Amino acid sequence: MTVTRTVAETSLPRLRLLRRGKVRDVYEVDEEHLLIVATDRISAFDCVLPTQIEHKGEVLTALSRFWFERLARVTPHHLVTTDIERMPGSVRESADVLHGRSMLVRRTEVFPVECVVRGYLVGSGWKDYLRTGEVCGHRLPPGLRESDKLAEPLFTPATKAEEGHDENISEARMREIVGAEATEHLRDTSLALYREAERYARSRGIIIADTKFEFGQGGDGRVLLVDEALTPDSSRFWPAGRYEPGGAQPSFDKQFVRDYLETLPWDKRPPAPPLPPEVAAATTRRYLEAYHLLTGKEL
């Protein structure tokens, strides 16, 4: 018999659920703290699948923690602890479900922009480039290929859409939304974080093609890096050894999932079909491998 150890959804008796995202459940702990719980849910083509991926929540949590600590020289962050034993009693009560997948964080006022950094030309950036020769107001040289490395990483903010896709905006538009001072700070910090993380990940065999950061302002006015950081869910990870510009690259984590789903007649609208056990298991192995490659440790 196999024991299923995945968590599809949490419901904590003593905490108020603020938000259930595609992957994470967010609870209010007290006025100053939130609990962010990474479940084992997985989404593909913007739909949450009915199948969970064993160890995914743990990998997302451990990897975020790794990056927060590693990048603390670049920016302060919101993480207080991932150790359940050091969390309040209202959280410890549910330790069995939460263990390894939970971050106690400082609650902030989140800036309503996604701070995207792109080091390579893919996704909506590639589409915009084909159409206009620009990516979010940055004019690029002609003749670039899909997945090409950019001469310099680009800061390409987006608005946070409640439903559907985020909308790319120019830096000028971002200034109107959050102000000039915050725009400059978030841009410079995002670029510095990306450069540092990209350089490190590349030395470990992973290309971080692009990523998305979020920032928030704490009660004391300090700007903190919040949310998750540099996980496969917030970034595009590619195996560096197989990098071949001129087309789409295999995705480190979800390639098996996407390849499988592409074989089905599914129209990519909910409800999404379940994954066969071998596809789910292969995906678990990819998440664990990403963690191992990046941190040099086993989960």
Report the interface residues with ligand ADP, using CB under 6 A: 19, 21-24, 26, 34, 78, 105-108, 110, 214, 216, 226-227
Identity of the residue, 105 or 272, whose beta carbon is nearer to ligand ADP in the bound complex? 105
Least distance from ligand ADP to the Cβ atom of residue 1, Å: 33
Q: Cβ of residue 151: shortest distance to ligand ADP, in angstroms?
A: 30
What is the nearest approach in angstroms of ligand ADP to the Cβ of residue 105?
4
Instruction: Name the residue nearer to ligand ADP (CB basis): 219 or 276.
Output: 219
107 or 254: CB nearest ligand ADP: 107
C-alpha 224/C-alpha 77 separation (Å) is: 5
| Nearer CB in complex with ligand ADP: 36/150 | 36
| Closest approach of ligand ADP to the CB of residue 78, in Å | 4
Q: Which is nearer to ligand ADP, 35 or 150 (CB)?
A: 35
**Least Cβ distance, residue 38 to ligand ADP (angstroms):** 8
Q: Say how far apart CA 117 and CA 62 lie, in whole Å.
A: 22
Which C-beta is closer to ligand ADP: that of 147 or that of 234? 234
Q: How far is the CB of 131 from ligand ADP (least distance, A)?
A: 26
